[in-house]
Structure 1
Amino acid sequence: MRVVLAGGGTAGHIEPALALADALRRLDPSVQVTCLGTERGLETTLVPQRGYELALIPPVPLPRTLTPRLLAVPGRLNGAINAAAAVLDRSGADILVGFGGYVATPGYLAARKRHVPIIVHEANPKPGLANRLGARFTQHVAVSHHDSPLPNAKFVGIPIRQQIAQLDRLAIGDKARSYFGLDSDLPTLLVFGGSQGARSINRAATAAAPAFRAAGIQVLHIVGRKNTEEAAPGRPGDPQYVTIPYCDRMDLAYAAADIAMCRAGAMTCAELSAVGLPAVYVPLPIGNGEQALNARPIVDAGGGLLVDDGALTPEWISQYLLPILRDADSVARMSEAAAGMGRRDADVALARMVFEVVRAGR
């Protein structure tokens, strides 16, 4: 079976695609996977690192508003469609699976042109333009929100890395804390804002460092590679405040923590709920509000707190977060609630959908 994945651009599109690729290979090692991407996206690094073929097509970002740039779109899009069609031809694709973003649009149009079956995967509650288009061309639509507006939507969840999906936080908690130089017994807060960090979260956590120390809370703070000046220095004899610029072992970071404080991207919400790690979700204050929608079901179930970016202050942390961190029973209840909203096997569920669609088309 030959599968083409269209999930380039951001990690939110690439990581689910690669998790699906891994699941396909586990179920059938003979599956051939090709990933569509552009030279601008993170896929140029992430896809080769995971051992998959990357086929580049011209990038065609679509303006969100009526601007003169729209005039250049048809010609550029046609070139990208032809390039994507050439990839489908060259790979002998049996199916194309798209994850949204600007790589998916030419992928969907090329697959329709070549009569290649399509599966659309939508990670967000508000589908983007690419997936709204792709869903018109197929009856096979996988979603991660039960109330998705896309037609023919089937709840699957978001495929996540096996490193995270198989994580047993309680079993390796002591090892994880030791890995980061943390105390094995103190309540632990994990602070992160994605690969680049989040300055508003960084500032609030750093300013709250004295309150954390006074409450006997230790902090693992991933500030982002460009934000190392935002570290909160520790003091001898105080609970530790460990600051690192980047973490390539998020499984251990999750295992070390009792609660996280972070953004509410779709992948972040999927991973935290899958491993049962409650969180204070601080949605991005820009965009279409989808980050708050990502976190809302988890929060409503009792698996976290939701706070506006502008409302996250040291005072808010002291009033609302510290009492929870100091109450082991509250943390345990929130962990159980978060885990109840997670799904660890979305990668396998989506892979089985791929096999079913290909078999039905043969």
Structure 2
Amino acid sequence: MERAPRILFAGGGTGGHVYPAIAVADAVRRLVPEAAIAFAGTETRMEWDAVPRAGYPIHPITVVGLQRRLTPANLVFPFKLVRGLVQSRRLIEAFDPDVVVGTGGFVAGPVLLAAHLHGRPLVLQEQNAYPGMTNRLLARWAAEVHIAFPEAQQAFPPGKCVLSGNPTRAALRTADPHEARRHFELPEGAGGAGAPVLLVFGGSLGSQALNAAMERHLAALLDAGDVFVIWQTGSRYFERLQARVPAHPRLRLVPYIDRMDLAYAAADVALCRAGAITCSELMVTGTPAVLVPSPNVAEDHQTVNARSMERAGAAVLLPEARLEADLVEAVRGLLQDPERRAAMAAAARAQARPDAAERIAHAVLARAGYRLATTV
């Protein structure tokens, strides 16, 4: 009797690393319900809560990032690296995975290195157009590297990349625009269309730069006469902004949006950062966007993501340095041009890969030596 596949996932630190891993794990479980799935992560980072909530066991690995500047924190790096490698070796021996999947973040380093030394096949998933350091270092040992942006293949060894896309939630593809408008109390016009809607968000924690620019220019955006604004501030900024921003019948000011599927379905234009998962969600939902890359991320990878979207005709790149000067013109230009929005939506959907999780899951199971009756 064929052994059920055993798959270990390693990735963490941010949602951009954690949620793609969970999406692929969910796809594996749909394909092979008896599969044994486990995660490796860091107790102090978000994966420690997100993975158990998704229904998977997680094992602790000690890891710390090497700072790019001279700092006393780097003195403990060698000791924690050794400890993490020992923990990773023990985990590989105990769980006995058929394949190990890395989605980036420092924790993937020791786990995948230990797996390689034990002769286990490695599969990487890279979310960004400019790959992270961990995946770049591990790629030499990987059997496959699944990428979301064509530009990423330049950073990896030839012949290893598969353009699979970023795994995204299935609910994004099935959200009903009518339900979305009701959810946010937005009017509907003939045929289900309504007043144009601008969706503003800076991730779950919010963006200080986006919030400051919106506070300054909100009146100019609402002066268009029929524009509605859904503005997710982030929980840490909400109370201050709620006290300072005047209430308006066409403004929906919220700390957090737990139904992003409905938010995308309601929006005509998004003003947001250019994280990899956000870009992939914009593609899947066909949402025209003004992308403001964060300048505070490694290797400025959000700018590379945004440029890829802009080249495809799916978004407008607005550097943070030009945010105050150009926000109103960039957003109004799209809200007032339905033909351009339609072209951008089509371009976004043309770049989308809504079956990314299933494609990667099939590849992972194949590397695990598990034979499926069908393939994607």
**Fold similarity call, TM over 0.5:** yes
Distance 2:75 2:119 in 1: 28
Normalised TM-score (structure 1): 0.93
Q: Which amino acid aligns with 1:18?
A: I
Q: Which amino acid aligns with 1:312?
A: L
Task: Measure how far apart 1:113 and its partner are.
Answer: 2.3
**Higher mean displacement: 206-215 or 268-277:** 206-215
Does the 8 A contact of 1:62 with 1:102 survive in 2? no
2:316 is the counterpart of 1:305 = yes
2:160 is the counterpart of 1:158 = no
Deviation track 1:224-261 (CA, whole Å, cap 9, x = no partner) reads 000012243333xx5x1101101111111111101100
Flag the 1:213–1:43 CA change in 2: closer, same or farther, 3 A: same
Identity %: 37
Distance 1:21 1:206 in 2: 40
Does the 8 A contact of 1:108 with 1:134 survive in 2? yes
Task: Measure how far apart 1:282 and its partner are.
Answer: 0.1
Equivalent residue number for residue 219 of structure 1:
229
Equivalent residue number for residue 187 of structure 1:
196
Distance 1:265 1:144 in 2: 12
Deviation track 1:69-123 (CA, whole Å, cap 9, x = no partner) reads 4443232212111212222222221111001111101111110222211111111
Q: Secondary structure at the match of 2:143?
A: coil
2:277 is the counterpart of 1:267 = yes
**Higher mean displacement: 134-143 or 214-223:** 134-143
2:51 is the counterpart of 1:47 = yes
**Higher mean displacement: 217-226 or 23-32:** 23-32
Q: Structure 2 regions of 5+ residues with no counterpart? A: 189-193, 372-376
Q: Structure 1 regions of 5+ residues with no counterpart? A: none
Equivalent residues, number: 353
Distance 1:213 1:71 in 2: 53
Correspondences of 1:1-362 after superposition (within 5 Å): 1-65=5-69, 67=71, 69-147=73-151, 148=153, 149-151=155-157, 152-164=160-172, 166-168=173-175, 172-184=176-188, 185-215=194-224, 216-228=226-238, 229-231=240-242, 232-235=245-248, 238=249, 240-287=250-297, 288-313=299-324, 316-359=326-369
Q: Secondary structure at the match of 2:49?
A: helix
Deviation track 1:332-357 (CA, whole Å, cap 9, x = no partner) reads 12111111111111111111110111
Distance 1:66 1:142 in 2: 34
Flag the 1:78–1:342 CA change in 2: closer, same or farther, 3 A: same
Q: Which amino acid aligns with 1:53?
A: P
Task: Measure how far apart 1:65 and its partner are.
Answer: 4.1
Task: Measure how far apart 1:331 and its partner are.
Answer: 1.7
Distance 1:45 1:183 in 2: 38
Does the 8 A contact of 1:167 with 1:275 survive in 2? no
How big is the alpha-carbon RMSD for the aligned residues of Structure 1 and Structure 2? 1.8
Task: Measure how far apart 1:325 and its partner are.
Answer: 0.5
Distance 1:207 1:15 in 2: 33
Q: Secondary structure at the match of 1:83?
A: helix
Task: Measure how far apart 1:221 and its partner are.
Answer: 0.4
Flag the 1:331–1:39 CA change in 2: closer, same or farther, 3 A: same
